[in-house]
Amino acid sequence: MNLVLRLAWRNLWRQPRRTWLTTGAMVFSNVLLIFMISLQFGMYRLMIDNSLQAFTGHMQVQAPGYIDDQKIRQTVPNVRQLAAALRQELGSETIAARASTFVLASSEERTYGIAVYGIEPQFEPQVSSIPGLITAGRFLDADDAAEIVIGSVLARNLRVSVGDELTLLGSGKDGSFAAAVVTVAGIFESGVPDIDRSVAELPLGLFQDVFYMEGSGHQVVVNAPRLSEADTLQSEVEALLPPGQDLVVQDWDALQPGLKQAIQADMSSAFFMYGILVILVAFSVLNTQLMSVLERTREFGIVMALGLTPGRLGRLVLLETAMMGLMGVALGALLGGALTWWLGVHGFSYPGMEEMATKFNLPARMYPRVTLTSLLAGPAVVMLFSLLAALYPALRLHRLHPVEAMRAA
């Protein structure tokens, strides 16, 4: 080992208890940070996936303003053809057309206001998880059959089961009265209460007939292979939109604005907490390194008299801190990684989590996932701030005068 490294290392162990306590503060924070960050980002991932996969998709082609008002008149003309063109141009199957409106749905016993969607039975399974979540009956298969699939809660509220009839009352695109009688073909259960309570799907052909859509719809849902590729895909989709038509592509953030902001709000409070932890560790390091410098005043005076510059001594102090920091990172990553991994395998829960989790489309048991980022991000910041904290004691050395220092007790 290099002599300077050896010197720094030995200096650390002159006060083993102090070194361990300072390292302990680092390890404590690192373990906590690793666990929290793993949990947090795993959770965000799930929130996004669960919310988008069910229905929304990564992006949608819509008429401008539809996103705010969702008026039946704000249409995408020739929606079916647009979806087909996009599928062909992009060589992707995960694209489907939809139309939607609100209707009053009546069974024999009950009447509820619901959102109905006209979907393409052939392509909808590529963009939404709902077709795969049918618990009774089957998903739609013919484009103009008088059939409907509804959420499980809605089915219960309407007191209908597969084979029963529903009457839909609403208004068409031109504002005229629209009505249809449809048979319940299937019932789905997505686990997202809002969707199970209020969503119903019809074949797009039927929808267009009943609501006088004249070939138009309201959205073309486009899914990227991965969320991270959504941005690139979006510009491609934008380039392919038919010229002269007033259409926009809305990304998932615009479609589910609550989602990203909920994550941001949660992240800012989490980062506040992480920040405080890191600051407290920095205080601990500042305290330790300042003490260790003050204790060694006389010693430093001697080596300075021998010709060592304050800069080199300062680097020694920083090196000592870096060594402590590395021990903190190593032990923290080891313990934090092991703990988080164990919890990731076995899962964990705390009282009340189930109620909280369903609100955000999350499972009741949490399985934090350790990634390289979650493992190293927190400890790296702790390390950085520890070094920053050690700067003050290191720079103080410049004020040291060798003769006076040697005389110090």
Q: Which of residues 292-311 bind other proteins (CB under 8 A)?
A: 294
Q: State the Rg of the chain over Cα.
A: 31
Residue closer to other proteins, measured from CB, 66 or 139: 66
Site for other proteins in 110-169 (CB under 8 A): 110-115, 156-157, 159, 169
Rounded CA separation 321/303 (Å): 20
Per CB under 8 A, does 399 bind other proteins? no
When binding is defined by CB under 8 A, the residue of 90, 136, 262, 387 that contacts other proteins is 262
The pair phi, psi for residue 306, each rounded to 5°, is -75, -10
Write the interaction track for other proteins spanning residues 343-372; mark x where CB under 8 A is met and - where it is not: -------xxxx-xx-xxx------------
Given a contact cutoff of 8 angstroms between Cβ atoms, the answer to whether 331 and 27 are in contact is yes
What's the farthest any 2 CA atoms get from each other in the chain? 100
Of 88, 161, 232, 261, which one interacts with other proteins (CB under 8 A)?
261
Position 38 contacts other proteins (CB under 8 A)? no
Environment class of residue 282 by beta-carbon count within 10 Å: exposed (0-12), middle (13-18) or buried (19+)? buried
Applying CB under 8 A, the site for other proteins has a residue count of 74
Contact pick of 130, 134, 247, 277 for other proteins (by CB under 8 A): 277
Binding status of residue 315 toward other proteins by CB under 8 A: no
Asked whether position 404 contacts other proteins by CB under 8 A, the answer is no
Residue 18 binds to other proteins (criterion: CB under 8 A): yes
Q: Between 20 and 367, whose beta carbon lies closer to other proteins?
A: 20
Residues 183-202 that bind other proteins (CB under 8 A): 198
Query: Which residue, 67 or 227, is less far from other proteins as judged by CB?
Result: 67
**Can you tell me which of 8, 12, 25, 192 binds other proteins, judged by CB under 8 A?**
25
List C-alpha distances in Å: 382 to 243, 261, 275, 328, 353: 53, 27, 9, 9, 29
One symbol per residue from 75 to 104: x for binding other proteins (CB under 8 A), - otherwise; what is it?
A: --------------------------xxxx
Q: How far is CA 170 from CA 42, 340, 356, 366, in A?
A: 42, 52, 35, 42
Buried residues in 394-407 as b, exposed as e (16+ CB within 10 A):
bebbeebebeebee
| 3-state secondary structure at position 140 | coil
CA–CA dist 9, 296 (Å, integer): 15
Q: Are 186 and 134 contacting, i.e. CB atoms less than 8 angstroms apart?
A: yes
* 339 touching other proteins, by CB under 8 A: no
For residues 209-248, which are near other proteins according to CB under 8 A?
Answer: none
Among 163, 215, 258, 311, binds other proteins (CB under 8 A): 258
**Per rule CB under 8 A, is residue 171 in the interface with other proteins?**
yes
> Do residues 95 and 126 make contact, with C-beta atoms less than 8 angstroms apart?
yes
Q: Could you tell me which stretch among 10-18, 238-246, 299-307, 309-317 binds other proteins (CB under 8 A)? A: 10-18
Give the other-Cβ count within 10 Å of 97's Cβ.
Answer: 28
Binding of residue 260 to other proteins (CB under 8 A): yes
Among 49, 69, 93, 141, binds other proteins (CB under 8 A): 69
